[in-house]
Amino acid sequence: AKQLGGNLVRHFVEQMALDYQRQVQLRNALQLALDKGELEVFYQPIYDTKTREIVALESLVRWREDGEFISPAEFIPIAENTGQIIPLGEQVLELVLRDIYQHPVLQQLQIGVNVSAQQLQRYDFASLIQARLAHHQINASNLTLELTEGVFVGEGKATVASLQALQDLGCSVAIDDFGTGFSSLSYLNRLPADVIKIDRAFTAGLNEDPELQAVVRGIIELCDYLGKTVVVEGVETAEQCEIFSQLGVQRLQGFYFARPMPLADVLKLLNS
Ligand code: C2E
Ligand code: CA
Ligand code: CA
Ligand code: CA
């Protein structure tokens, strides 16, 4: 037993060392990519449930190392730890605004950009957005800023104020991954948010789980009452599509409709 325990500990320590090595490697490689401006942006269409037309796009950062994509699920948390999320966020914003400026068809849609809580805390985020929008001559109403529920933990007054400032500019604010965090439904009405994005976890479990359906129905009714737009993420099947249509969700996003894709492919979709 002692031997087994020793092996386990050694295995664990080795694994930690490997993970750490990989993280240091990724952090350094990411810094090079940031310095050289190598990050790219893909877009995933978001559809109106009734008309089945594209009404919005979510921008998603992409990082290609030696021809292979590294998952944001792996490098975003590292960038959050190292503070690299700040320049990363700025670069993504520039790429997106440039795309919108160059392609008027994108000016008809709401374009979502993911924002880290750190970006709100680090500086006057609304002023940055205002300046970058002006620089690229883009309307604020063109932009939706997506923040995860986590930023609202503790109901930070400063957070609420900076989201309010974004809304005052004319941008939309979306709460991302809704349902996974610590929020309770009761504070939905106090959040300066226009859009609620129901997390993929709900979508995946919905058909077999009547209780989950009841929770989602509750969220949708409340959002309806509060005048917030509901988007469901991670729609992968016709069946899920059907369920959410019947529940009255306004917008759907997921592989069933379209995967995240390069701008050129989105433009083809929009023009077809
Ligand atoms: P997210 O904001 O929740 O973005 C949606 C993620 O779900 C994307 O993963 C997308 O590819 C994936 N997805 C969309 N539809 C489906 C589906 O039907 N099934 C499944 N299984 N997945 C689907 P991605 O691009 O790997 O991004 C992962 C996360 O990384 C994002 O989650 C977001 O939190 C973060 N992220 C991505 N781009 C940025 C960025 O520019 N800035 C920041 N701060 N975070 C970003
Ligand atoms: Ca998002
Ligand atoms: Ca999400
Ligand atoms: Ca997520």
For tokens 């792996």, the residue is: 74
For tokens 């919905």, the residue is: 206
Angle at 201 between CA 262 and CA 174, to 5 degrees: 60
Please give the model's pTM, rounded to 2 decimal places: 0.93
What separation in Å is there between the alpha carbon of 201 and the centre of ligand 1? 13
| pLDDT of 229 | 97
- pLDDT at position 211 over 70: yes
In angstroms, rounded to a whole number, what is the distance separating the alpha carbons of residues 171 and 143? Answer: 5
| Pocket around ligand 1 at a 6 A CB cut-off | 44, 60-61, 71-73, 76, 85, 89, 92, 114, 116, 176-177, 200, 234-236, 254-255, 260
- Read off the pLDDT of each residue in 87-110 and give the average, rounded to a whole number: 98
**Tokens of residue 3, six digits:** 């031997």
What separation in Å is there between the alpha carbon of 62 and the centre of ligand 1? 10
Do 179 and 150 contact (CB within 8 A), yes or no? Answer: no
In angstroms, rounded to a whole number, what is the distance separating the alpha carbons of residues 272 and 74? Answer: 34
Do 114 and 176 contact (CB within 8 A), yes or no? Answer: yes
pLDDT tens-digit profile of 27-73?
Answer: 999 999 999 999 999 999 999 999 999 999 999 999 999 899 999 99
Q: How confident is the model at residue 258 (pLDDT cuts 50, 70, 90)?
A: very high
In angstroms, rounded to a whole number, what is the distance separating the alpha carbons of residues 196 and 176? Answer: 7
- Read off the pLDDT of each residue in 247-266 and give the average, rounded to a whole number: 97
Q: What is the mean pLDDT of the chain?
A: 91
